[in-house]
A and B are shown apart, each in its own frame.
Chain A
Amino acid sequence: MIATTAVLAAEGGEQSILFPADYDILWSAVCALVIGLVFWKKVLPVFTRILDERTELIEGGLKRAEVAQEEAAALIEQYKAQLDDARAEAARVREEARAEGQAILAELRAKAQADAERIVETAHRQIEAERQSAAISLRADVGTLATDLAARILGESLSEDARASRVVDRFLDELDGQLGASADEADADRVKGR
């Protein structure tokens, strides 16, 4: 505390407070120089560099994040497009399959129809043939039977008689005509009934 005197009058009152001693100036200058050099050459360059690096890092980080975000957005867009493509493709495939199925179905139906018609036709032809053969055999049988019957009724044989033969033929022709008409009628009925 007694050092007040050193301030007020350094070195026992010889030194005025407002007039510096040479050593005071010297050591002040030395201290200022040392502090200045250290700050100028060491401290400030280091901290300036670190500050710049930090700014760079933060800005770089922000920029990188931005780029990453843009990339992600582009990727999402791409995926969406791909998904849409896939959906469209699936729909197309489904549509194609449906059309194909319908074509197959129609084809099968047509084929079945043709088969059925063919079978019916064959059956008709067979029936006709059978009818005709039946008619022919019937004609012969009916002729003989009728002649036999007539001979029995009349008590005489008409078999060798030419007349009898003509009568039988005529009768059979009539019968044939009736049979043919009834057969045509039956055909007509069948056609109508379908």
Chain B
Amino acid sequence: MSIGPNITPPLADAPAADPQQLETSRGFWAETWLRFRRRKLAMVALAYVLFMACVALFSPAIAGTKPIICKYKGHIYFPALGYFHRSWENPIFVTDHFRNVYPAKLKESDPESWALWPLVYQDPQRRVRADEWPDHPANPTRDKGHPNSLNLFGTTRAGVDVFAEMVHGTRTAMLVGFVSMGIAGAIGITLGAFAGYLGGWADMLLSRLIEFVMCIPPLVLILALIAVLPHPTIWHLMAVLGLTSWTGIARLMRGEFIRLREADFVTAARAVGVGWFGIMFRHIFRNGLAPVLVPITFGIASAILIESALSFLGFGAPPPNPSWGALLEAGRDNLQMWWLIAFPGLAIFFTVLAYNLIGEGLQEATDPRLRQPGN
């Protein structure tokens, strides 16, 4: 039973050391990292997120039907980059009528050619037909596409490989999290910092603005904003997510600035003549940033969640963009095809969980009450 305040004996004077040698001590972030590392679950979550980031980055090399690198008519090409953006695929393959079927066409048009292929020959956007690849039958369609050795996570009704679509969908999920929270963080931190530091009218205006954004249900605002755009892309979606989810960050930042504005070390800085810019950024911002990282991490989790929910409702990125949520939507109409629900569902769940765990770990690692006084 341990209730009541925690008392730990105070520090004695720092040890007198060799006066010749300059001593360095760990800075705040090194200390935070040390504390974060002690939390096993958070570390596992971090490893998972890093792994997913790698999957996203190397998705065309993991699953695809375009060579990672090939030599064709005397030139070296990287057709797989076309999965990132269509224009990154050299137009020669279009003019030579490849129609996205590389293995046969390569040999046919240039017998001298060679190619390095992705790990899994499956495409996230179309069905792989019979004999595109040696000993590879056509992907099953309708509800026959149970997971098997060629289609690890099964196929959709149209015969598109679920594994390939999920690998490429990782890109969307990772990007959505980072970009939208990057936008939200930038807006929230700036507005919160100025409102907190300036107080008075600026603060009053920001508080109204926050109230304003909060009064509109988030999904409503997002749906309406997306609907305004004639041709929404995944980037628009991220921008909209960022524009609607900065309020929590702004409030926290505002609170930190209000709290730290009155701190003695800030008064001390004012007393030596540090200007408002130096006070805000050299002194307050550095101390107020750590608590804001926590809602940003949680925000990444919720951005991923909202993106997949939107795709699920049919408001997500337009069709050629593979997305976990879109797979789930397909599963909703075909409940007996459990693999359309289980795999993307688990992927979303684990990713959200991982970010939440990282956020929790960060929270404890940066919590001033768990650290030595003043640190």
Is B one of A's binding partners?
A: no
**Which A residues are closer than 8 A to B by beta carbons?**
none
Q: Which residues of B contact A (CB under 8 A)?
A: none
